[in-house]
Amino acid sequence: MVVGRRAEDGPVAQAIERYALQDAVRFVKGISDTDLVDLVRSAQIACVPSLYEGFSLPAAEAMATGTPLVATTGGAIPEVTGPDGETCLAVPPGDAGALAVALGRLFGDPELRARLGAAGRERVLARFTWARAALGTAELYRQAIVSRGARR
């Protein structure tokens, strides 16, 4: 299941045709937030194979549902996902072989899936909720006010 629009041409479309995956790969787009949560939560594994991301919302969303994650180390993804083997399985960007090995490892190990899913959810709830963002923002404002007052 791929959340997003299927390109009619390009490498993904070519691979789907070359390997006759038309019946195995499904694309969905324009779904509600509730449907997205249900879809991600129903997955055995979530995969974020990005070459680069500034902040990986897909990784955070998957982790928030307790879905075990395989993600690359491209860009800021590791800041979201945490350490390899603790909260996710991390692979180098663009390394299809490492991605396949990590996915196979998770599919073959239900205990690892459960452990990574729980640890990933705990990480997101501890660091990336709106409440956490509001508290962090308020603290930065407090520090700025104190700093400005000390300069007067």
Per DSSP, the residues of 26-75 read -EE-S--HHHHHHHHHH-S-EEE--S--SS-HHHHHHHHTT--EEEE--T
Q: Using one digit for the tens of pLDDT, what is the confidence trace for 111-135?
A: 999 999 999 999 999 999 999 989 9
Per-residue model confidence as pLDDT tens digits over 81-105: 999 999 999 999 999 999 999 999 9
User: Is 123 a member of any domain?
Assistant: yes
| 26 belongs to a structural domain | no
CATH number for the domain including 107?
3.40.50.2000
Instruction: Answer whether residue 9 is part of any domain.
Output: no
